[in-house]
Amino acid sequence: MLSEFTCENPELPPRVYEVGNATVVELYGDMDLVGFQRTLPHLDPVTAGPARVVVVDLTRATFLDCSGLSLLMRAHRRLTSRGAALRVVCADPMTLRVMGITGLKATLSPVASVREALAQPRRDP
C-alpha cells in the first residue's frame, strides 16, 4: 500500500534548535528538489550564523537524492569557509549507501545520533 511510504508531515519545516555552542537542524520528509527548496531558507541562515558546529539531523528524512546531497554539501562548503564544522546524523542504510556511492560519505562523516555528533572533537578545516 503506497500510503505506508508517505511522510506523515511532508511539508513540515526543519526544526532548528541550540545545544551548547552547536545548532541542530532536523530535516523531515523527502530531501529531493522540493525538500531542497523548502529547507534552504532555514539552513542558509544557520550556516551563515555564529555557530561553530552545525548538526544536520537526517533521522526523520525519508529519502535523499542528489538535491539532498547538494544541500548537505552547500552547508559543508559554507561552514568550512568560515572555519566552522558540519556534522551529519544519519543511520538509514539507503541514505548512507547513496553517500557512499557518490563518494561523499568520507566528506560528510555521518554518525548515528545527535549525541554522537555533539560529542565529536572539533576538527579544524
pLDDT digits (tens, 9 = 90+) for 84-102: 999 999 999 999 999 999 9
User: What does pTM read for this prediction?
Assistant: 0.88
Q: Kind of pairing, strands 53-64 and 22-31?
A: parallel
Cell numbers placing 91: 543511520
Q: ∠ CA(26), CA(29), CA(30), 5° rounding?
A: 115
- Does the pLDDT at position 73 exceed 80? yes
- Does the pLDDT at position 106 exceed 70? yes
What mean pLDDT do residues 100-109 have? 95
